[in-house]
Structure 1
Amino acid sequence: MLEMFPILLPYVPMVLGMSVIATGLAIILGLILGVITKNRVPILYHVSLVFISYFRGTPSLVQIFIFYFGLPQLFPQLLFINGFTAVIIALSLRNAAYLSEVFRSSLTAVEKGQLEAALSVGMSKGQALKRIVLPQAIRTAVPPTGNFFIMIIKETSLAFTIGVTDMFAQAKLSAASSYNFFESYVAVALIYWALTALFSFLQSLYERRIDKPYERGVSI
C-alpha cells in the first residue's frame, strides 16, 4: 500500500483542478439561478425550476455519460468535449442546481428591512446588495458551499468511467497488474480522506474568521 502513494499522488493536482473549476462554475451559475428563483423572474423562473429539477433528479454518472457520449452524437460541433471537460460540465451543472437553493435561502434569510433601510439612507440597490445583503448571505452560504466542494472532490472519481486517467483510474490499473486490489483502493481512500479532512479544517477556520465580527457584537 505504501508503494502506491508515490504512484497516486501525482494525480492529486488533476483531482483538485477538476474540483476547483467545477465548484467555481457551480457557484456562479448557482448564484444566478438563486437570484432568478428568489425574485421569480418571468419565464426564466420556470426554466430554472426545470433545470434544477432535472439535475437534482438524475445520477451524476448518467449526466457525465450524456455530456461525453450523448451530446457530441447529436451535435457534431461538440466533439471537442473530452472526458476532462465532460466531467467538469456535468459536476458544475449538477451542483449549481443544489447551490441555487443554498443561495436562494441565504438571500431570503437576510431581513428585507435591512435593504429598505439602506435604500432609505441614499444607497443604490447595488450598493445595498454589495455592502449589506451579500456579506450576510455569504456568511450563511459558506458552510453548505464548502460541503459541496468536498462532495465534488469525491465525485471526480467518476471520471475514470469515461477514460480519464485520474487517481482512481491509476489505482485500478496498478491493481490489475499487481493483483493488490485491497492495498490500491485503500491507498486511494486514504488520499481522498486526507484531502477532505484538510479542506474541512480550512473551511472551519474560514467560518470562525467570518463569524468573529458577529461574536464581538454579541459580547458587547
Structure 2
Amino acid sequence: MNLSFSIQVFKDMMGVLPVTISLTIFSFIAALVIAIIIAIVDYFKIPLIKQIFDVYVSFFRGTPLLPQLFLLYFGIPTFIKPLRSVPAYIICIIGLTLNAAAYMKEVIRGSILSVPEGQKEAALAHGMTSMQTMTRIILPQAARVAIPSLFNNLVDIVKGTSMAFAIGVIEITATANLRASVTFNYFEAYMILMIMYWIIIVGLEQVEKKLESKMSKGYVR
C-alpha cells in the first residue's frame, strides 16, 4: 500500500468534500419540499395536478439516476439552448432532487396515512379547514413516522452524489477516480473513498437515532 499516495488522495478528497456535502444538503431539502407538495396533492386528490405528479413519480422511480443526469445535462439543452450555460453542479442538484423527491413522496404519503382518522375528523369538527388540519395536526405527527425512511433517502442521496462526476462535477468520487487513473493506485484511492462514504453514513445514522429519540419522547409510555 502506497502510504504517501493515500495521504495525498485523502487530502485531495477532503478538499472537495464540501461539494459532496452541499450537493446532499441542497438536494435533500429541495426534494423534501417537493415530496410534501406532491403527497398533499395526492392526499386531497386534486384533479389533473395529481395525474401529472403520478407520471413524474413513475418516470423518476422507473429510470436510473445516471441516465436522468445525462438527459438533464446533455439531452434537454440540445433543444433548450439557455440551459447549456447552466453549471453541471446545478444540474446535478436538480437531478438528485427530482430523483429523490419521487421516492420521498411515498414516504410522506405513507406517514400522512398513518395518522388516525379520528384526529383528522376531530380537527375538522372543531372548525379547522382541511389545510389547517394538514399543517397543524397531520404533518407534525407524520414527521415522526417519516424520519427513519427519510434518513434512508438522505443516505441514498449521499451515495447518488457519486454519479456527479459523470457530468463533470468534481466531488470525492471524481477526485478518487482522477488520482487513481493517473497513478494506477486504484486500491488506495477507492478504499479511502469507500471509508469516507462510510464515515458520512455512520454519522448520519447517529444523527437519525438522536432525532428519532427526541421526537418520540412525547409518545413513549
Assess same fold via TM > 0.5. Answer: yes
Say yes or no: does 1:44 pair with 2:49: yes
Distance 1:73 1:96, change over 3 A: same
Identify which of 186, 190, 197 aligns with 2:191.
186
User: Where does structure 2 lack aligned partners over 5 or more consecutive residues?
Assistant: 1-5
C-alpha contact 1:2 1:187 (8 A) present in aligned 2? no
- Structure 2: distance between partners of 1:100 and 1:123: 25
CA RMSD of aligned residues (A): 1.3
What residue in structure 2 maps to residue 104 of structure 1?
Answer: 109
The structural deviation recorded for 1:46 is 1.1
The structural deviation recorded for 1:81 is 2.0
**Percent of pairs with identical residues:** 34
Identify which of 90, 94, 113 aligns with 2:118.
113
| Aligned AA (1:95) | A
Say yes or no: does 1:87 pair with 2:89: no
- Structure 1: distance between partners of 2:10 and 2:16: 10
The structural deviation recorded for 1:124 is 4.1
| Aligned AA (1:149) | L
Deviations 1:125-152 (A, max 9, x none): 4443333211111111111111111110
Please report the TM-score for the alignment, with normalisation by the length of structure 2. 0.93
Q: Trace 1:1-220 onto structure 2 (pairs within 5 A).
A: 1-215=6-220, 218=221
The structural deviation recorded for 1:80 is 2.4
Please report the TM-score for the alignment, with normalisation by the length of structure 1. 0.94
Q: Which segment is superposed worse, 76-85 or 142-151?
A: 76-85
Distance 1:21 1:110, change over 3 A: same
Any runs of at least 4 consecutive aligned residues in structure 1 with deviations exceeding 6 A, and if so which? Answer: none
| Aligned AA (2:150) | T
The structural deviation recorded for 1:112 is 2.0
| Aligned AA (1:17) | S
C-alpha contact 1:107 1:134 (8 A) present in aligned 2? yes
User: Where does structure 1 lack aligned partners over 5 or more consecutive residues?
Assistant: none
Deviations 1:67-109 (A, max 9, x none): 0001111111212222111111111001111111111111111
- Structure 1: distance between partners of 2:127 and 2:110: 27
- Structure 1: distance between partners of 2:65 and 2:135: 34
- Structure 2: distance between partners of 1:46 and 1:89: 22
The structural deviation recorded for 1:204 is 0.8
Distance 1:148 1:14, change over 3 A: same
- Count how many residue pairs are aligned between Structure 1 and Structure 2: 216
| Aligned AA (2:189) | S
The structural deviation recorded for 1:123 is 3.6
Deviations 1:23-80 (A, max 9, x none): 1111011111111122211111111111111000000000000000011111112122
C-alpha contact 1:72 1:81 (8 A) present in aligned 2? no
C-alpha contact 1:26 1:93 (8 A) present in aligned 2? yes
Give SS of 2:85's match.
coil
